[in-house]
Structure 1
Amino acid sequence: MLATTNTTTAMLPVLVNVSFAHCTPFPALSTETHALALAYWAPVGLRGVDCVGTFLHEWDANAALLKQISDDPATADAIAKHGMPLSSFRMHAPVAPRQVYCTIGNYRSQLLQAALDADDGPDGPGAAGRRTALLNSVETRRRDGAPYICLKGPACVSGPNDLLPVSRDLKTLDWEVEIGVVIGQSAVGVRAEDALECIAGYCVVNDITLRERVFRQDAPALGTDWLQSKSRPGWLPAGPWMVPAWNIADAQQIRLWLRLNGSMMQDGVASDMIFSISEQIAYLSNFTRLEPGDLICTGTPAGLGTHYGRYLRPGDVLEAGIDGLGSQRLTCIEV
């Protein structure tokens, strides 16, 4: 089923970005089976209906009208009557961000798993001490620190069902299912208590990362290299759709999961974040200007390839999903 709130099973229209017969992608409203171009509602005042980037950039003008359209029972009937089967379209990323921000090390479970895997392993004599030290450091960071956020190039955004090229020289290509937050209004210096008002919607993202390039061997003193490790084309599958923020009762309570060839690798809940979505937005907005359509990838739970000692290779099928936000399916191919 498509978009639901956290407390209801009612089907609600979602924003998709689709194409067919090699046409230019266009935004549409979709139900479980069909999609209808936003251009259908242009006469009632929606702006930028021919391009998802333009539509999101005009979110301030579009949001109230889109909510009215989505809430209208006649909308589902119009999509079924005048739209086309969703299966007849190619799905593209539901966002076209100007900037992409990725929050690093933001789930307690993932940091704890990494700490336990280190040195003598989770069953070794040093594991208890590492657990205590990690939990103490997380609480200190939570109290006195701030989110750690990097940039990821917008050119790496790809569709939810695209092929993922994996060359043989990429030995440590890893996955990270995350809640993607799409900004709906310009934000500078917002407070955490007001930050949720800046959100247009949410989507599934998978922050593909090459672990061996996170730290440069030729310049170890310079720290992390997010260009080499995160920003190649195709390394941020997004979608399949964007769910408007008003249809998600509490994004901090939703579940994230990822399967590799049918086996569950990640299974977490957003309440495990060290810094909440609203705190991440507030932090970012104090150092940069967030613009409509910008995308924030908010961190990933435990279960990375690093933990399993198993990374992506040609032939793998990677499924990533978030309750209420849909799921994506990537097939890794050799290049």
Structure 2
Amino acid sequence: MALHPEHLPPSASAAFDFAASGRRVIAIETQGLEAVAARLDGAFTAACQLMLACRGRVVCTGMGKSGHVARKIAATLASTGTPAFYVHPGEAGHGDLGMITDADIVLALSYSGESDELLMLLPVLKRQGNALIAMTGRPGSSLAREAEVHLDASVPAEACPLALAPTSSTTAALALGDALAVALLEARGFTAEDFARSHPAGALGRRLLLHIRDVMHSGDEVPRVREGASLSETLVEMSRKRLGMSAIVDADNKLLGLYTDGDLRRTLDDASIDVRATPIAKVMTRNPKVIDADALAVEAAQLMEAHKINALLVIDQDRRVVGALNIHDLLRARVV
């Protein structure tokens, strides 16, 4: 949204090119990412192998901006099949070290490699036997020297013109963490279904975990009439069950046809049809679109969209009607 000149702060100069400044930042950070990518070698492979073989969890830690990146890396690892969590190094020295077991691997982030809070933890971690993966911008730093594996996250320059605010370096560390998580994901054969299981409240979780049986109406809630019913009797059933349709079934509850609100509108346009006397079998839709209870709810949404319909009957392998749902059920379940 464009701002009017009177909305700009007094210090904002009309001559300053904000977009050019933004492009410069992104260009510098892109160079940093390219430098890190060019250095992915045996150390990266060794780090992945250590994490893949870990019997416990990957404990990510770091101070300041590195801590924020470490927290995000832990979350990404945990959601993609590698158990992980974040420990604040300052709190670790005051009791939180008890969260780290001898089966865990520690991934420590510090661009300088000299963060006092991290270095203070090393003797305890070494004594406990924890493998250490360090991610720093200085291969010769204290943290890098003490680690079993060092990941070089150095960048040619920070995007901050004062070279003070971590910018390119934090972007590089974040990307390196993503690279670790995705490489491990692929090595584990982690699937979208696996991802959904750790995201049940998210949109992907709903799309991949929610089945028709979880959202359908069943039992007495399913509108249905026998094939000998009249159109008027069917309308009463549709009105009572409020799903905008009714199944027409035989004596064994096997599906014979479907009648919907849309069918009713077409029926009313036909002056030759007597609503009270006409048998439902005369005006029902034979061989309607149906779905199985074990199908994913998102499949119902796709079927409705493809065929421009608002409701579906659910049948079993013998074509017995076991449920019904409409677009409002999918909306309530936030599948669409």
Fold-level similarity (TM above 0.5): no
In terms of fraction of residues, the more strand-rich structure is 1
Q: Which has the higher contact order (CA 8 A, sep 6+)?
A: 1
Give the structure with the larger helix fraction. 2
TM normalised by structure 1 equals 0.21
Larger Rg: 2
